[in-house]
Structures are given as structure tokens and as C-alpha cells.
């Protein structure tokens, strides 16, 4: 492979659309373009396809189709889930300092309308203190919001143990599973999750489509955030993005069938990449090594400015933080919460692999990163 060919290792930001997904979508831009809520035969045909996609998404997380609400993506789903609870009697929310900004900013909104929000710390490995969570819960606690797999470090929290605690305290459990759905097995019933958010473009589907799972068992009455024609049981009005929904459904179907194959192959590639990059003197992995998703590694290269290294890599796409805030040079709030210094956080790079990553790309990346990092390392102050 030529060094001029693009190597994409930023799959936590977005993924390439799988060709099988694209082929499933295209007819819904051309021949099958009717509105899914129209009562004529063409509309009813589209509605049937939408319902099938809902079942495909539900099957991926062991839910029921009627528990799935289609949104424009995970950010909208997060806003609907959290803001939709504004009329509840309990006014205390618990979340984690390392959550995605979509959760943190929405929680700030809830504070502004009268809710109390507790932002729990994590340890150096990015793991939530289970006992501290227990101590923070009160009789006024409505919901705990926790990310399944962190978008920057890949760290996975112990969702089952968290869920058991929350159920014993009669507290709702919301999971931002945007980085986990389609990559690892998720069973909302076994995990006792009441609300779950996901986005198609994180697992080889199109951008602009996501979903919110709302447990029927929990009997949660959300306040809709988008009003209009009353689509989707009046929870999210607006003409449905049918091509996107079909794409999300197809991506879900493929994930169900190929998840284990992807996991095994990408895990080995990630470990090869990581072991190669850790040859850089003083480098280390950010976050818990055993408790993380298989496609992600976040590595600190001491003395190297991550932005300079990313620019120098050119055709190799990597990230120094969340894709939603990577245009800033501020140190990552996730890494800061994990007790890294500003210097360490600004020397850290996230590598996230995917279905289309090759062994040859890993070899090239290791060689290029090590060479460029050595050139860019700043002399240490004495």
C-alpha cells in the first residue's frame, strides 16, 4: 500500500457505510420514495419496510419493535430521553464526568430548569466508583445516565452491577450506547436498561439516523421534543427519514450476523497496533486495559503535541479527542477527569479501528507514528 493512500483509524467518529447497507438504501431514494404515513398502497409498502427495520434494530439489543423511536441520531435521542423527563416528580439526576458532551450539556439544561445533577468522578483507569454511586443515590434520584463504552478511551463500565444497584433503589437507568451498539452484544432486558441511545453511523450505517429505546416495562412517559404531525406514537413528530431507517435496520441485521467475526479480527489488529506504538519511550495507554471495547486504544506520547502529530500523519486519520469537539485545542475533559495533566492530555491520540481496517494499514501506521513522534518530541525541561 502506498503511503499516499488513506488509512482511516477514526471509526469512533464515524464509519464507512457498508456496501450492503448502501445497496439496501438506494431504492428508497428512487422507486420506493412514498411517505411512510400515507394510506395508499405505496405508503403502506414503505410503512411495512419501516416496521421491519424497527424489528431489526430491536433484535440487535433484544428489545421489541414498539420500544424503538427513530431519531436523527444519538444526540437527538439523548435530548429526548433526558429532557423528556422534565415533568417527573423526582428531580435528581446522576451521571459521570466522562460522559459525551451531548449528555453533559443536556444535564446542564436540566439544572437550569430546576433539577439537581451529580457528576460522579472516575479513577485513573476511567472506572466509576460503584460505592460512590451508591452513596450519591437519594430518595429524590430519578435516573442514572452512564455511557456503555467511552468514545475517547473505549472504557466499559460494569453495566450489570450498576443496573442491579439502581433497580434496588428504584432509579431509572439510561445508557448512552452509541459506541457499543453493533460492536459488542447488548441485551437491554438482561442489563435492566430503561433508556438506550444509538446512532447508525457508528456501525457502518448512514449519518442522520439513530434511535432511542424506551422500555415498555418501565412505563416512562416522555415529553416529546419535536411536535407536529404526531408520528411515532406522538413522541417524535416529522416525516420519517425512510432511507436512513432502512440503512439503520440493515446495519443492525449485519451486526447481529457478523458481530463475533468483527470482534475477533479487529481485537487482534488493535492489539498489534497498540503493542507497536508502545515502543515509543514513555508512552502509555489511557484507561483500563482489561475493561474496554476491542476496537479502541488511546495512547499518550509524552512530549509530543497531538495536534502536530495528527497534521503530520496527513493521510492517516486519527483523533485527539471527541469528534464533536476536536476542532478545539483544549485538553480532553475525559482525560482530565481521569487525572491526566494538561500536558499528558494534549499528548494523547485515539486510534479506533473498524470493519475495513487491514493488517497492512496497521504496519504502516505503526511505522509512521513512531517515526514522526520521535521527530516531534519536545526536549524535556530540567
Q: What is the pLDDT of residues 225-253, one digit of tens each?
A: 999 999 999 999 999 999 999 999 999 99
Grid cell digits, residue 375: 521527530
What average pLDDT does this structure show over 13-23?
98
Could you tell me where the beta strands, DSSP code E, fall in the chain? 7-8, 68-71, 92-96, 116-120, 141-147, 172-176, 195-199, 210-214, 284-285, 296-300, 316-317, 348-352
What average pLDDT does this structure show over 171-186?
98
CATH 3.40.640.10 in the chain: give the residue spans. 19-254
* More confident: 127 or 325: 127
Cα-based torsion angle of the residue sequence 76, 336, 287, 348 in order, rounded to the nearest 10 degrees:
100
CATH 3.90.1150.10 in the chain: give the residue spans. 7-16+258-376
**Active-site residue, 324 included:** yes
Rg (CA), the chain: 21
Grid cell digits, residue 267: 481485537
Cβ neighbours around 160 below 10 Å, total: 11
Check residue 228 and report its DSSP letter: S
Check residue 28 and report its DSSP letter: G
Tell me which architecture the domain covering 7-16+258-376 has in CATH. Alpha-Beta Complex (3.90)
Contact 324, 153 (CB under 8 A): no
Tell me which architecture the domain covering 19-254 has in CATH. 3-Layer(aba) Sandwich (3.40)
Which pLDDT score is estimated for 378? 77
Give the Cα separation of 49 and 133 in Å (integer).
42
Average pLDDT over all residues of the chain = 95
Q: What is the pLDDT of residues 45-100, one digit of tens each?
A: 999 999 999 999 999 999 999 999 999 999 999 999 999 999 999 999 999 999 99
Given the residues 107, 175, 300, 324, select the one marked as catalytic. 324
Which pLDDT score is estimated for 325? 45
Q: At which residue does the C-alpha cell 430491536 appear?
A: 58
pLDDT at residue 272 is higher than 70: yes
What is the full DSSP assignment across 291-317? SB-TTEEEEE-TT--HHHHHHHHTTEE
Which pLDDT score is estimated for 381? 52
- β-partners of residue 70 are 211
Amino acid at each position: 500500500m502506498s503511503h499516499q493512500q488513506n488509512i482511516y483509524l477514526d471509526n469512533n467518529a464515524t464509519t464507512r457505510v457498508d456496501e450492503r447497507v448502501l445497496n439496501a438504501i438506494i431504492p428508497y431514494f428512487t422507486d420506493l420514495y412514498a411517505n411512510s404515513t400515507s394510506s395508499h398502497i405505496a405508503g403502506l409498502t414503505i410503512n411495512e419496510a419501516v416496521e421491519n427495520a424497527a424489528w431489526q434494530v430491536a433484535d440487535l439489543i433484544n428489545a421489541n419493535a414498539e420500544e424503538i423511536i427513530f431519531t436523527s441520531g444519538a444526540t437527538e435521542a439523548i435530548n429526548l430521553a433526558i429532557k423528556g423527563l422534565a415533568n417527573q416528580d423526582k428531580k435528581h439526576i446522576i451521571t459521570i464526568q466522562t460522559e459525551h458532551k451531548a449528555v453533559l450539556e443536556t444535564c446542564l439544561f436540566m439544572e437550569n430548569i430546576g433539577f439537581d445533577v451529580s457528576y460522579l468522578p472516575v479513577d485513573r483507569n476511567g472506572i466509576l466508583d460503584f460505592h460512590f454511586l451508591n452513596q450519591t443515590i437519594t430518595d429524590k434520584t430519578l435516573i442514572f445516565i452512564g455511557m456503555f463504552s467511552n468514545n475517547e478511551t473505549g472504557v466499559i463500565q460494569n453495566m450489570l452491577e450498576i443496573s442491579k444497584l439502581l433497580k434496588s433503589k428504584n432509579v431509572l437507568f439510561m445508557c448512552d450506547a452509541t459506541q457499543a451498539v453493533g460492536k459488542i452484544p447488548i441485551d437491554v432486558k438482561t442489563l435492566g436498561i430503561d433508556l438506550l441511545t444509538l446512532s447508525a453511523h457508528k456501525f457502518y450505517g448512514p449519518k442522520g439516523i439513530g434511535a432511542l429505546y424506551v422500555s415498555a416495562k418501565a412505563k416512562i412517559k416522555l415529553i416529546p421534543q419535536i411536535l407536529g404531525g404526531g408520528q411515532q406514537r406522538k413522541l417524535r413528530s416529522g416525516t420519517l427519514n425512510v432511507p436512513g431507517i432502512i440503512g439503520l435496520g440493515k446495519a443492525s441485521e449485519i451486526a447481529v450476523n457478523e458481530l463475533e467475526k468483527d470482534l475477533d479480527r479487529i481485537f487482534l489488529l488493535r492489539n498489534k497496533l497498540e503493542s507497536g506504538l508502545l515502543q515509543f519511550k514513555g508512552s502509555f495507554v489511557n484507561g483500563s486495559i482489561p475493561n474496554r471495547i476491542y476496537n479502541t486504544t488511546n495512547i499518550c506520547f509524552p512530549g509530543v503535541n497531538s495536534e502536530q502529530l495528527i497534521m503530520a500523519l496527513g493521510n492517516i486519520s486519527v483523533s485527539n479527542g471527541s469528534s464533536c469537539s476536536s476542532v478545539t485545542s483544549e485538553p480532553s475533559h475525559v482525560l482530565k477527569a481521569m487525572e491526566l495533566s494538561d500536558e499528558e492530555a494534549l499528548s494523547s491520540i485515539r486510534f479506533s479501528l473498524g470493519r475495513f481496517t487491514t493488517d497492512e494499514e496497521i504496519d504502516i501506521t505503526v511505522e509512521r507514528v513512531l517515526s514522526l513522534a520521535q521527530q516531534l518530541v519536545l526536549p524535556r525541561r530540567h
